Structure 1
Amino acid sequence: MKHRKPTPAWQKLGLRVSKKLAVGATALATVFGGLAVASVSAQASTDRNSYADTVGNPTFEAARKKYGLTKEMKNGAILHAWMWSFNTITEHMDEIAEAGYTSIQTEPMSKIKVNDANGKKFTENWYYVYQPTNTSIGNFVVGSEDDLKAMTVAAHAHGIRIIVDVVANHFTADWNAIDSDWQKSEYFHARNSCSGSGGDNIDYSNRWQVTHCHLLGLWDLNTANPEVANRMHDFLKTAVNDGVDGFRFDAGKHVELPNEFDGSQYWTTILQNGSQYQYGEVLQGDSGLDYKAYANLYAKYGEGGGGATASDYGKTIRSALWSKNLNAGNLMSLRNGGVNDDQLVTWVESHDNYANSDKESTYLTNDQIRFGWAVVGARAGGAPLFFNRPKASGGNQPQFAEASQLGDAGDDMWKDTAVAAVNHFRNAMDGEAEYLRNCGSEQNNNSCLMVERYKTDNNAGNDGVSIANMGGDQNLAGTPTKLDDGTYTDQVNGGTITVSNGKITSGTAKGDAVSVYFNTSVKESVSATVSKKFSSNTIKVTLNASNATNLTYSLSNGKNGSFVDGDSLTIGGDMEIGDSVTLTVKGTGAESGEALEFTATYTKVEVQANTIYATKPSGWSKMYAYVYTGDGATAKNNAAWPGVEMTAMAAADSCAKAGTYKYEVPDLGEGTYRVIFSNGNGSQMPGASQPGFEFSGKVSWDGSSASLTAITCTATPPVIKTADITFSATADLKTGETLYAVGDWGQGKGKTWTRAGGVKLAKNGNAYTGTTTMTKGQAITARLIKVDANGKTTWDEIGDVKATADKTKTVDLKWTNAVENTVDITINAAADLKTGETLYAVGDWGQGKGKTWTRAGGVKLARYGNAYTGTTKVGKGNAITFRLIKVDANGKTTWDSAKDRKSKADKTKALGVSWTSGKVNEDGTIPDDSAISISGKGVADGKLSIQKGNLAELYVIGTQDATPSDAVWWSDGAAVAVSGTGTVYGVQTGTAKVNVKVGNQTATITITIK
């Protein structure tokens, strides 16, 4: 934070899958993102323990081991998803896991100042996310609190943990932008306590000034104020309950230590938040800075450790990269400031190194970043953080090319083959010793560094070496090594090295490349071209599988089939601009027998943005365009040299006249696009050994100039004759009921207004959806019907919905409004009834005149398990007040002497109550504990069916509370995850048993995921 550009003068599912693990519900809450919602101005309502809910959870552990990620966050690689939104991270979770990252670090989640004029550009805009205006979750960069929860769900399903960046030292410099409930002078240090504009003049050798002055003019929090500490603590606690596993504290050294000045308890208050890993941005180098005390303080309060940033080692690495001097002796020490190496967060570059105006690391190339990561990422010590740069930026390109915007993923270096190989190497070598040496029999090649990881046990399976070679090809024969005897495979370039008796006997470190030699286990996977946007009429999607059988694919537009590795699909021909289609690829592990699945979404966007118009130079018989991006390992092109032959336009359009040569450039991914024109036979522009002309968008070339000219024109999109219409409906269905959209949209004789000619709607999130293809322009008249298990049809009483199939779109339908305005309230009661007695819940929940506080307007509770249960519909938002009554065979009513129970019909839910009297048998004896059971919406005969990706809430019948605090929930199968409070999540298709234990009693339910 120290060098960041100042602002102007005036920003739940904890899983249980094994009954061997007996952790109470208070220790459970979220592995798949917390479902508890709590105000950040008050203590969060549940106490999630991140460590227990992840590495203490067999289901999370199964996911973590599937991707080979490290058990402890302090030992694994961190992806700094800089300026990615929570939703963007969620969309890339498969790839992040496949790339071997143990953790993901997000941007700050606080509400921030919005500068509408800046939009989402990076330049002079990125730093506002580090300038909070309050302690609520959500801002225009990262998204909402619900987005955060969804991201943690996805992360934990992949065995990944989430670190959120937190700004706990200061708020924005704009007092008027700070929320009113934070605008209290006692919450901030006085402006006039320090010199400079806004009290921002800091002497970094003076600890009082470092911790009390206003960094860059930003309002500095009075961290000695207990109320400030408590509010920040609750903010972090809420995030942990939402599924967050760790925190990075921005400008950490600007907050005083507990033993400094007034004995502030800020750190000791806010660090006790339930997360498992916390570290601070504590930049080394200040005189008087107790770096060790900060690192130890952060590590103290997390079961998974923590520490501080190894900024000095980052400088050392960058210096070595600039000079190409990878001397092992110079790079051995991590410059740990007196703490343990596993208390460090290491990096090649941080966001401040890259993004600040001094551009400390901005000019590093992708190759240099790879070489640096081959060292930093392979070391035994430190948690290496990989900073993701914005697209097409840095190196020999602008610092912020604005090829991506705030909220987007950056360039693809984070998943580069060499970077991912180093991550997997690190994970495989977790806990092994290390040795650094330079390459060659004399170990004197300082442009080539080897990071060996080993365990001397005569087993080559747990040894390996990462090599950064900034020079030419290096023969490794004769190089001493700590590796056990055996043959090791380069996971980046192919090839092997052989080790015998403490020396490498054969093999080569490829020149100007990273090599990662270790032996991997058999990997089972299915995949496809990753989610992307495309602007051509169609896109080719490649399907891949490794060590997998039973391979199938399905598209959300209804197309499906089987495939073999390398098959491709062509999609998009029936899509319009703005349409998306989701691909799901499935298979079975050839050895493990486990279900494999991969999903991706493809969205059609505006007609191809990059189009070249050119005049053929005189003397050329043909005209070719060779288009490429990147360099080295990142280079991509439109075709092998000389590229693609351009075609002359038969007719003029708004962009060029007839006879002009035109080429629509395919999507080559991120990067700067360049073109070289040639006749395919020796003549070219620019000349040999010269880089191509840079371009973006629609451009023209006059056949002789040394540059291209941007042009503004329109193009005619292809004519689409059909439209996909998705019916999306909201309705409450009973068990066994199915929802259809029926009507007339040109289906043909005998198919209008019939179920056979209608569209079956399946549960999709909070709605029911189904898609059909219609002739473009077709009139649509539709209505909903429900069909029960016996075939009985109920028609929706609301009028027909009319629309036109003018384009691919969604037509919204909903069952009668009365259904939409009510929620189901289930009352579960524990009571002892004598023969002939009946139990009711009576009260006032808006039933209407004559029905409040009467048996006729109440809910009759029927025996289920060892409790009594009944359900009624209540107007959404109504207050609920009720009490239990017993009615005997003669009609005599006995009222429960307990106080009225109160609640609110804010959602479909269960309310647990108990009769005030103790449990007794009719003969006066005390009964043994009777059986408990599981219930919830949709549960019937001990079974429940939900869609993949959906949630359902379960509760316990037979206890005083429907969600008892001592309940232990777990799932026996990978298809279902369950939280410590009984919320289940459909992970994958299949069946699993979900169990709950309360005291000595256990209940089980079978859940099917569709």
Structure 2
Amino acid sequence: MKFNKSLSAGLMLFGSLIGGAPSYAQDVPKTAFVHLFEWGWQDIAQECEEFLGPKGFAAVQVSPPQKSVDNPAWWSRYQPVSYAFEGRSGNRAQFADMVQRCKNVGVDIYVDAVINHMAAWNRNFPEVPYGVNDFNSCTSDINYSNRWSVQNCDLVGLNDLKTSSEYVRQKIADYMNDAISMGVAGFRIDAAKHMPAEDIAAIKSKLHGTPYIFQEVIGAENEPVKPGEYTYIGDVTEFFFARTLGPKFKHGGIKDLQGIGSWNGWLSSSDAVTFVTNHDEERHNPGQVLSHQGFGNLYFLGNVFTLAYPYGYPKVMSGYYFNDFDAGPPATGIHTGNACGFDGGDWVCEHRWRGVANMVAFRNHTAAEWRVTNWWDDGYNQVAFGRGGLGFVVINRDDNKGINQGFATGMPAGEYCDIISGDFNSQTGTCSGTTISVDSSGYAHFTVASHNAAAIHVGAKVGQTCTDCDKKPATPVTATNLCYDNAANHTSPTLYYWGAQPAGSLTNATWPGVTMTANGDFYCHDVETELSSVNVIFSNQGANKSNDLTTTTGTCYSDGSWKSLADCGFTLITEEDNDNDNATQICYDNQQGFSQPYLYFWNVDAATPIANATWPGQAMTQQNGQYCYDFGTNLTSLKVIFSDQGSRQTLDMNVSAPNLCYANGEWKDLSQCTSNTNGGNETWYFRGTANGWGLTALDYNEQTGLYTTTQTFNGEESPARFKIDDGSWTESYPSTDYQVGDYATYQIHFNSSTKAISVTQH
């Protein structure tokens, strides 16, 4: 899908939308998420489909979904009265629909979980139920110099739950598991500082699967409760980041931000969630942090820096305009009657500012080089730095002085799109803004005005089209589906059908028809019967309708013509698949280098009943370069987690036949993972930090049909990583360096047919 909205003249440089590729490249990691504060579920679902998915956002943090006190103020969402999915953002059905629609386009949902307390009224919450004995007894004001007081007394009068109680822990876990059952991928733990870490850990142990967890812990120098106490459970919010960044951009001295995150007392990058501001800080601490309130382009530049600098997992704030501290959100969302501020509406929509959205792509494309290179500053308010040859950014916070000079970027030669001034179209390889030339020595000239920025990265090279951005489906479909590429960019694609043959096989739809379901970059509808002919019209809930079209089931309308579902990239679910003997196994290429891969499974739909596994599940057996587990019966669908005998587990994954092999980060048909190798008549090499990126030939094992080597990593570079290469860099696998733990020895296996790599630690 494309977004080419223009804004009114005279707006600041951040006030524009980015023009996007139709699909986010599949091999580029997603490294930033957005907080759509107080957005409704229907608006979030549509935003995932139209903007967040195509732009490479990893996830959305949503406002607390549970039933809360009836009050228009924003803070009412943080006063729960039950754990029912009911509130001003929508009901349970709308919430579940949002989660699935976002998931279908590669965007996870993180729930803001209010589990420290209940609302500020009597201690009787019958809908849970909670009674007086389920709360701590301290109602005194909190003394922040006393740990017990911080974690056992009521927070600003809110009834403090007794999270040491097994009953309370289970009730909280039941609520979170309910969210997980609808597809929620993670949680922000509100007010985590006010709960002992062991209580949160106990609750987490009751959760299904391995949801992503990050915890709100506000650190203070003279307080006993420290953010680092919680990192063994999950990530933690690093408030020092916003509170350091803000003053430097407001008052000057951004050159001092070099090394931010590495200072004593800060969380490590792998544990930190960072932000420029959040919903609390822009209200409670407006004097210290940057926000949309009165800081002009400085707030924008703070976001550019945050997304460019390799520290933490950044969260982009996206809220609404307010003058009153208590003010609740606008009555309608940007897709349901209101609009973003740059279109005259009441929502700020920071995530849609061109430079912010494009810097998400910058961060994603530079993730493989998690370091700062070629740092430059003018001694005060102008900085520039690279990301290991994958990107380069120039930020000019100076009030008066421009930047007009060359920089050593370390990047490959070529013409790049300045993603701050314009948008890069990965399908055409064109840039709507300024382009910047990098010469053969990696040198480039930048001209950047006061309070402005410029940025280039390898994913936005002019003339280079994305080789992995064709429209792609997300899940298999049956042969009775009709699918559509939504080339018209409908906000809610609708299918109207009539005149189906054979006669009487399908009742005519009622105009404008049925709402289609997102499936990757397509929208589909299953008519659940085979048709030799049917007339259809695609529309946007009746508006902007297509011509009358005629087709059969099992087809896809893409690029203005009908194609088979297979030609559009869909995998078909057929009876033959279900009868295939190979559909009895789950296989895994062990990309994470587990010493003994285990398979944990639940919700198994199979030809004969399969009980849920007991954690950590079943040991997998190595065969043909993969680790497999045979269920002994044909599989249709299931949920799985891979782990190293229970540790270092993957995220929950939904699996459907015939794609039962997880290799190179995606589910594939089992036949693609068990192909025979080429009998040892090839030469493959190990290149990595262990051998200084030289060439070490792999040995061929006739018994397994795999190429192997044993390598020891001793801290030569960080992180420890490698590739398997043909000796010329022409063929190197995987596309992004394979990372392993340092100071360890590994046996590395390579399947030359499937290009799958598996690693076993010695």
Give CA-to-partner distance per residue, 1:151-172, whole Å, 9 cap, x none.
2222222222121110111110
Change (3 A) 1:321 1:243: same
Alignment match, 1:86: 41
Tell me if the contact between 1:970 and 1:996 (Cα under 8 Å) persists in the aligned partners.
no
Note the alpha carbon deviations across 1:883-906, whole angstroms, 9 max, x for none.
Answer: xxxxxxxxxxxxxxxxxxxxxxxx
Q: Which has the larger radius of gyration?
A: 1
Identity percentage over the alignment? Answer: 19
**Residue number in structure 1 paired with 2:145:** 205
The residue number in structure 2 matching 1:452 is 386
Match of 1:67 among 7, 20, 24: 24
Report how far residue 185 of structure 1 moved: 1.9
* Aligned-partner SS, 1:517: strand
AA at the equivalent of 2:354: T
Structure-2 separation of matches of 1:982 and 1:312: 47
Query: Which residue is equivalent to 2:356?
Result: 419
Contact in 2 for aligned 1:292/1:337 (Cα 8 Å): no
Is it true that 1:130 corresponds to 2:78 in the alignment?
yes
Compared CA separation, residues 503 and 399, structure 1 to 2 (3 A): farther
Instruction: Give the aligned residue type for 2:35.
Output: H
CA contact (8 A) 1:224 1:265 kept: no
* Structure 2 residue identity aligned to 1:246: G
| Contact 1:237–1:274, Cα closer than 8 Å, also in 2 | no
Letter in structure 2 aligned against 1:428: H
Distance 1:489 1:496 in 2: 5
- After TM superposition, the structure 1 = structure 2 runs for residues 41-52 of structure 1, keeping only pairs within 5 Å, are none
State which of 502, 506, 520 in structure 2 corresponds to 1:738: 506
2:161 aligned residue:
221
Q: CA deviation at 1:469?
A: 3.8
Q: Would the alpha carbon gap of residues 398 and 788 (structure 1) be closer, same or farther in structure 2, given more than 3 Å must change?
A: closer
Going from structure 1 to structure 2, the CA distance change for 1:966 and 1:85 (only over 3 Å counts) comes to: farther
1:378 Cα deviation after fit: 0.9
* Number of residue pairs aligned between Structure 1 and Structure 2: 505
Q: How does 1:466-865 map to 2 (within 5 A)?
A: 466-472=394-400, 474-479=402-407, 481-483=409-411, 487-493=415-421, 494-498=433-437, 504=443, 506-521=445-460, 586-587=486-487, 598-600=489-491, 737-740=505-508
Give me the whole-angstrom Cα distance separating, in 2, the residues matched to 1:480 and 1:788: 61
**What is the match of residue 278 of structure 2?**
350
Letter of the 1:739 partner, please give it.
T
Tell me by how many angstroms 1:266 deviates.
5.3
Equivalent positions of 1:884-903 (< 5 A) are none
Corresponding position of 2:54: 98
Please say if 1:374 is aligned against 2:317: no
Amino acid across the alignment from 2:330: S
State the Cα distance separating 1:350 from its structure 2 match.
Answer: 1.1
CA deviation profile, 1:632-651 (whole Å, cap 9, x unmatched):
xxxxxxxxxxxxxxxxxxxx
Q: Quote the residue 1:186 is aligned against.
A: 133
Indicate the residue corresponding to 2:100 in structure 1.
Answer: 153
Tell me how far 1:147 sits from its aligned partner: 2.0
Query: Given that residues 78 and 105 in structure 1 are in contact (C-alpha distance below 8 angstroms), is that contact kept between their aligned partners in structure 2?
Result: yes
The secondary structure found in structure 2 opposite 1:175 is coil
In structure 2, the CA distance between the partners of 1:423 and 1:470, relative to structure 1 (3 Å rule), is farther
Matched position secondary structure for 2:383: strand
Distance 1:339 1:401, change over 3 A: closer
How far off is 1:216 after superposition?
0.4
The separation in 2 between residues aligned to 1:86 and 1:983, in whole angstroms, is 33
Aligned-pair distance for 1:510?
A: 3.0
> Is the 8 Å Cα contact of residues 397 and 450 (structure 2) preserved in structure 1?
yes
Q: Which residue does the alignment assign to 2:425?
A: none
Q: Which amino acid aligns with 1:417?
A: R
Q: Quick check: 1:740–1:761 contact (8 Å CA) kept in 2?
A: no
- TM-superposed deviation, 1:376: 0.8
Give the direction of change, closer, same or farther, for the CA distance of 1:355–1:378 in structure 2 (3 Å limit). same
Cα pair distance change 1:736/1:450, threshold 3 Å: farther
Contact preservation (8 Å) 1:451, 1:467: no
Q: Which amino acid aligns with 2:102?
A: A
Q: 1:400 to 1:236 in 2, by over 3 A?
A: closer
Normalising to structure 1: TM-score of the pair?
Answer: 0.43
Aligned to 2:216: 281
Map 1:308-347; keep pairs closer than 5 Å.
Answer: 308-329=236-257, 332-333=260-261, 337-347=265-275
Shift of 1:500: 5.9
Alpha-carbon RMSD: 5.0
- 1:384 is matched with which residue? 314
Match of 1:111 in 2: 67
Per the alignment, in what secondary structure is the counterpart of residue 118 of structure 2? coil
CA contact under 8 A between 1:738 and 1:761: conserved in structure 2? no
In 1, Cα distance between equivalents of 2:26 and 2:395: 21
Q: Deviations over 1:772-823 (max 9, x none)?
A: xxxxxxxxxxxxxxx99899xxxxxxxxxxxxxxxx99xxxxxxxxxxxxxx
SS in 2 for 1:248: strand
Pick closer, same or farther for the CA change 1:157–1:764 going to 2, 3 Å: closer
- Structure 2 counterparts to residues 248-259 of structure 1, below 5 A: 248-258=188-198
Aligned 8 A contact 1:166 1:247 in 2: yes
The letter of the residue matching 1:87 is Q
Change beyond 3 A, Cα 1:436–1:480:
same
Which amino acid counterpart does residue 418 of structure 1 have in structure 2? G
Letter in 2 for 1:416: W
- CA distance in 2 between counterparts of 1:203 and 1:955 reads 53
AA at the equivalent of 1:600: T
TM-score normalised by L of structure 2: 0.56
Q: Whole-Å Cα distance in 2 between the matches of residues 761 and 322 of structure 1? A: 52
* Deviation at residue 230 of structure 1 after TM alignment: 1.4
CA distance in 1, matches of 2:51, 2:261: 32
Contact 1:90-1:150 within 8 A present in 2 as well:
yes
AA partner of residue 112 (structure 1): S
Residue 188 of structure 1: how far off its partner (Å): 0.5
User: How far apart are the structure 2 equivalents of 1:930 and 1:600?
Assistant: 39
- How many Å separate the matches in 2 of 1:241 and 1:735? 40
Deviation at 1:415, TM superposition (A): 0.8
- Alpha-carbon spacing, 1:357–1:983, altered in 2? closer, same or farther (3 Å): farther
Contact 1:69 1:101 in 2 (8 A): no
Query: Residues 416-465 of structure 1, C-alpha deviation per residue, up to 9 Å, x if partnerless?
Result: 111112111101101214337775xxx3252222242114xxxxxx2322
**Shift of the alpha carbon at 1:289?**
3.5
Determine the structure 1 residue equivalent to 2:32: 77
Partners in 2 of 1:126 and 1:171 — Cα distance? 16
Structure 1 unaligned residues grouped into runs of 5+:
1-62, 119-124, 194-198, 259-263, 300-306, 456-461, 525-546, 550-583, 588-596, 604-725, 742-758, 767-786, 792-807, 810-863, 868-928, 935-952, 972-977, 985-992, 1001-1010
Residue pair 1:327, 1:438 contacting (<8 A) in 2 also = no
Give the Cα separation in 2 of the matches to 1:146 and 1:599.
23
Aligned to 1:750: none
Give the superposition deviation at 1:389.
2.3
Taking the aligned partners of 2:491 and 2:460, their CA distance within structure 1 comes to: 26
Q: Counterpart of 2:490 in 1: which secondary structure?
A: strand
